[in-house]
């Protein structure tokens, strides 16, 4: 359906509902992880369910609002009557089920399908209600603890000393347990922190909430007081993280239709191309007094900045994806009775939204494999001298123009003999003799490798790693696997940052134009014939005492030998991927310009050494070289 | 309500397109592909050769900023190559969102071929790739070979 025909109200509802559901998911996962205070979580979840109830009722989705209403009752019961679920873990798993149900409903609404009747989730709701009924929390009639966040008015400066003043003052009335940053009296730098995140205090008192708030009224620079009652052992440090999330979510954001952003980026791409045509225009090139040149220089700076802003608009942190992975692991771990710890690093790494969407399912698949097949049962682990609890390490980091995501488990590792055997059975290889050690693991990415024999709830649905590989390749990424027996398995996915614009050098190889990413060029030089060593037809370049292998693009792509031209000299471009180096022989260097990367049509076979293509100002197509792949040869 | 109306319109449209075929010529033989796959027909644009492809994949073209692959119908049908001329054109098709161009000698017309007009081809002849053909139809005393656009355009081993 066309974007314009969608009801804007509905669109807003769906996008808000999605946000709510994912926030809810985060709350319960953090609760499960022990990173969130239960009482705080209840209040927050309650607020989200309440909002969703209201908006879905307004949009006429009775079945959603009914469910939310029921849940709201449960949460109100927990908040006001202090009731607790009998088992927190089961409670969380049931809530996650409920969140899944809501997600399905919202997706159905988005795709204009009938939503499911509320009866489908009845069982889960009843379970949760029952678990509450049996348990009554004994309310402690003693001093209460509060966690407080103060936000200061801007422009007062010396925030750290002001904070200290508050603490001193507060001590007359209540017992101050802890405050953060804790070094306000001595460290001037904490002032910045307070400005940004606020000042956190933990107190113990018999006073009521309202009375505590009043204590802060005498301080003119306090702009906002947020106060939560907490249970005995809640630590302030842990709680701050959940509050910080809340602060971030109140950042000033607007929802923009991604198609509009795409259009904007496309347009900027066109501007880049057109501008490069202007720069190369004869009239400007031959401009005598240089005034045009100066203008174009300024203009190119502006355009570059514009591009960066536009690109960054589509960038999102990987945190929500990682959260889903974590959730998958938590659920599986509970169902399969395998304790698993999840370690996540680099979740703030940003990636293009579209790429993230394509990446989530493959990553979930890998994580499932890790928990289901990789990590051993408790007994087996103990026998092997490992800890009873398995570990899954999920990490992301930027590396040049790529994002590297790795998923590693400390399980049993891949069994090479079994892989070979299965590959033989499936007819993927004909004999085990001529297969290199490092090619064995690659076999698991072959279509048809997956088997349904070991079907469990989580894998073996006939969807194999070949699909995972395909989806990664679809977005221009690559996937690698390493494994060591009994030590574990690591999957590494490398994906280009974005469908981006790069700086490139246009080169001419026998009349064909290629783009070399500027980031991989070390230097360019004129290459005399005698600097090229030809041993057994294999050319080397000798330069400053080092021998570099020559990458003959003409031979590689067109089957014509570059050196056969017998020119007295060539131009050499020394390229590197950080580890390996090589020299490209080219006829000519054309220009240096910004390149809008376009992917090659998916129905073409992949060409090793070419990562994509771009349109030149002339309308012609030039290939972008994949330096990594070229150096791997 | 509005959506239902819309989707029923789409159905109607698809219904109307169902039996329509675009007829083109390679040598003296007529071929037909379902019109629902056809986006547009363009003249020959400069083709950029792409290394490491099947022989019938001639390369890629720049269609108003979109990069699309072009395949040579003649070579896909295992016929000898012939130089392109001013009547050569490219049928731009879209299958599951993948755009691809088919280079043909010339495009003749759009015709209606009902299902029962199509009779199957006889069993294998050596130089015929049966997967491509749904059969042959008699269209006003002209024999049209009906192609299966999907198998014809998509490569044998798709690399997605």
Contact list in A for residue B98 (CB cut-off 8 A) is 601-603
pLDDT of B103 over the 90 cut = yes
User: CA A194 to CA A176: how far, in whole Å?
Assistant: 18
User: CA B76 to CA B55: how far, in whole Å?
Assistant: 8
User: pLDDT tens across A517-555, in order?
Assistant: 888 899 998 888 778 888 877 888 888 888 899 998 998
User: Inter-chain contact A1–B159, Cβ cutoff 8 Å?
Assistant: no
A608 touches chain B (CB under 8 A): yes
Of A112, A602, A623, the CB nearest to B160: A602
Of B2, B51, B60, the CB nearest to A601: B60
Of A473, A599, A607, the CB nearest to B52: A607
B149 touches chain A (CB under 8 A): no
Interface of B with A in 37-66 (CB under 8 A): 46, 48-54, 57, 60-62, 65
Output the six-digit token pair for B1. Answer: 């309500």
For residue B158, tell me if it sits in a domain: no
User: pLDDT tens across A472-494, in order?
Assistant: 877 777 888 888 888 889 999 98
Of B53, B67, B158, the CB nearest to A621: B67
Q: What is the residue-averaged pLDDT of chain A? A: 80
Interface of B with A in 88-127 (CB under 8 A): 98-100
B20 touches chain A (CB under 8 A): no
Q: Are the C-beta atoms of B57 and B152 separated by less than 8 Å? A: no
Give me the CATH number covering residue B91: 2.40.50.180
User: pLDDT tens across B18-66, in order?
Assistant: 788 999 988 888 999 999 899 999 998 899 999 988 889 999 998 887 8
> Which residues lie below 8 Å from residue A570, measured CB to CB, with a gap of 6+?
A526, A527, A532, A562, A585, A586, A587
Domain housing B67? 1-153
Q: How many CB pairs under 8 A join A and B?
A: 76
User: Minimal Cα distance from A614: which residue of B?
Assistant: B67
For residue B159, tell me if it sits in a domain: no
Cis? peptide before A181, omega within 30° of 0: yes
What is the tally of structural domains in chain B?
1
Give the pLDDT band of residue A139 (cuts 50, 70, 90). Answer: very low
Strands A538-543 and A478-484: unpaired
Element (H, E) at A333: helix A319-336
User: Inter-chain contact A613–B158, Cβ cutoff 8 Å?
Assistant: no
For residue B125, tell me if it sits in a domain: yes
Average pLDDT over residues A423-445: 77
- pLDDT given for residue A457 in this prediction: 44
SS (H, E, C) A387-421: CCCEEEEEEEEEECCEEEEEEEECCCCCCHHHHHH
Pick from B91, B96, B95, B93: which is nearest to B109 by CA? B91
Of A1, A5, A601, the CB nearest to B67: A601
Pick from A478, A546, A551: which is nearest to A521 by CA? A551
Output the six-digit token pair for A597. Answer: 């990367």
pLDDT of A405 over the 90 cut = yes
Burial class, A90, CB count within 10 angstroms (exposed 0-12 / middle 13-18 / buried 19+): middle
For residue B97, tell me if it sits in a domain: yes
Phi, psi for A20 (deg, rounded to 5) = -60, -45
Q: What distance in Å separates residue B123's CA from the closest CA in chain A? A: 29
ipTM over 0.90: no
More confidently predicted of A467 and A2: A467
User: pLDDT tens across A585-625, in order?
Assistant: 898 888 887 787 887 887 888 888 898 898 887 778 999 99
pLDDT of A276 over the 70 cut = yes
């Amino acid at each position: 359906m066309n974007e314009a025909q969608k009801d804007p109200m509905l669109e807003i509802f769906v996008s808000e509902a999605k946000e709510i559901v994912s926030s809810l998911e985060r709350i319960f996962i953090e609760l499960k992880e022990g990173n969130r205070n239960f009482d705080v979580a209840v209040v927050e979840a309650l607020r989200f369910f309440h909002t969703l109830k209201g908006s879905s009722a307004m949009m006429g989705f009775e079945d959603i609002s009914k469910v939310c209403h029921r849940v709201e009752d449960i949460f109100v019961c927990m908040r006001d009557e202090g009731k607790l679920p009998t088992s927190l873990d089961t409670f969380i798993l049931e809530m996650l089920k409920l969140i899944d149900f809501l997600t399905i409903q919202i997706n159905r609404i988005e795709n204009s399908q009938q939503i499911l009747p509320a009866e489908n989730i009845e069982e889960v709701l009843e379970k949760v209600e029952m678990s509450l009924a049996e348990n009554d929390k004994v309310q402690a009639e003693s001093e209460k603890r509060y966690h407080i966040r103060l936000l200061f008015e801007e422009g007062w400066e010396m925030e750290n000393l002001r904070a200290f003043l508050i603490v001193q003052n507060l001590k007359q009335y209540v017992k101050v347990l802890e405050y953060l940053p804790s070094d306000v009296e001595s460290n001037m730098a904490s002032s910045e922190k307070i400005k940004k995140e606020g000042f956190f205090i933990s107190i113990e008192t018999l006073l009521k909430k309202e009375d505590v708030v009043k204590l802060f009224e005498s301080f003119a620079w306090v702009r906002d007081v947020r106060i939560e009652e907490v249970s005995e052992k809640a630590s302030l440090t842990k709680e701050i993280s959940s509050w910080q999330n809340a602060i971030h979510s109140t950042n000033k954001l607007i929802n923009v239709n991604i198609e509009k952003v795409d259009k904007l980026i496309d347009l900027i791409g066109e501007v880049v191309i057109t501008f490069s045509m202007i720069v190369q225009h004869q009239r400007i090139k031959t401009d005598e007094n240089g005034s045009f040149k100066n203008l174009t220089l300024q203009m190119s700076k502006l355009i570059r900045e514009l591009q960066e802003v536009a690109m960054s608009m589509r960038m999102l942190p990987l945190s929500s994806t990682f959260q889903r992975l974590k959730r998958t692991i938590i659920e599986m771990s509970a169902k399969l009775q395998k304790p698993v710890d999840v370690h996540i690093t680099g979740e703030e790494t940003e990636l293009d939204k579209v790429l993230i969407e394509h990446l989530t399912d493959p990553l979930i698949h890998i994580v499932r494999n890790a928990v289901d097949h990789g990590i051993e049962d408790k007994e087996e682990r103990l026998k092997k001298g490992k800890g009873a609890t398995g570990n899954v390490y999920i990490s992301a980091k930027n590396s040049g123009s790529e994002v590297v995501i790795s998923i590693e488990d400390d399980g049993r590792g891949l069994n090479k003999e079994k892989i070979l055997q299965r590959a033989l059975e499936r007819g993927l290889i004909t004999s085990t003799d001529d297969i290199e050690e490092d090619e064995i693991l690659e076999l698991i990415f072959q279509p048809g490798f997956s088997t349904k024999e070991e079907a469990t709830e989580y894998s073996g649905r006939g969807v194999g790693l070949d699909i995972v590989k395909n989806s990664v390749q679809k977005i221009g990424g690559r996937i690698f696997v390493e494994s060591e027996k009994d030590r574990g398995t690591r999957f590494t996915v490398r994906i280009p940052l974005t469908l981006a614009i790069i700086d490139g050098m246009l080169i001419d190889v026998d009349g064909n134009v290629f783009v070399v990413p500027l980031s991989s060029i070390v230097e360019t030089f004129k290459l005399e014939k005698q600097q090229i060593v030809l041993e057994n037809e294999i050319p080397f370049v000798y330069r400053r005492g080092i021998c570099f292998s020559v990458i003959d693009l003409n031979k590689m792509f067109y089957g014509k030998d570059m050196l056969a031209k017998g020119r007295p000299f060539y131009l050499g471009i020394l390229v590197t991927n950080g580890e390996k180096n090589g020299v490209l022989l080219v006829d000519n260097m054309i220009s240096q310009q910004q390149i809008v990367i376009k992917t090659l049509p998916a129905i073409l076979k992949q060409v090793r050494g070419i990562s994509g293509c771009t349109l030149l100002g002339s309308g012609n197509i030039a290939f972008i070289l994949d330096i990594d792949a070229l150096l791997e040869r | 309500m509005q959506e239902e109306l819309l989707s029923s319109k789409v159905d109607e449209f698809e219904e109307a397109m169902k039996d329509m075929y675009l007829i083109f010529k390679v040598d003296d033989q007529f071929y037909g592909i379902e019109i629902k796959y056809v986006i547009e027909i363009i003249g020959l644009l400069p083709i950029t050769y792409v290394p490491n492809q099947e022989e019938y994949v001639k390369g890629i073209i720049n269609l108003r900023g979109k990069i699309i692959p072009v395949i040579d119908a003649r070579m896909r049908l295992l016929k000898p190559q012939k130089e392109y001329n001013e009547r050569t054109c490219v049928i731009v098709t879209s299958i599951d969102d993948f755009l691809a161009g088919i280079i043909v000698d010339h495009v003749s017309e759009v015709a209606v071929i009902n299902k029962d007009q199509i009779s199957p081809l006889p069993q294998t002849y050596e130089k015929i790739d049966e997967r491509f053909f749904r059969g042959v139809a008699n269209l006003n005393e002209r024999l049209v070979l009906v192609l299966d656009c999907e198998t014809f355009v998509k490569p044998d081993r798709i690399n997605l």
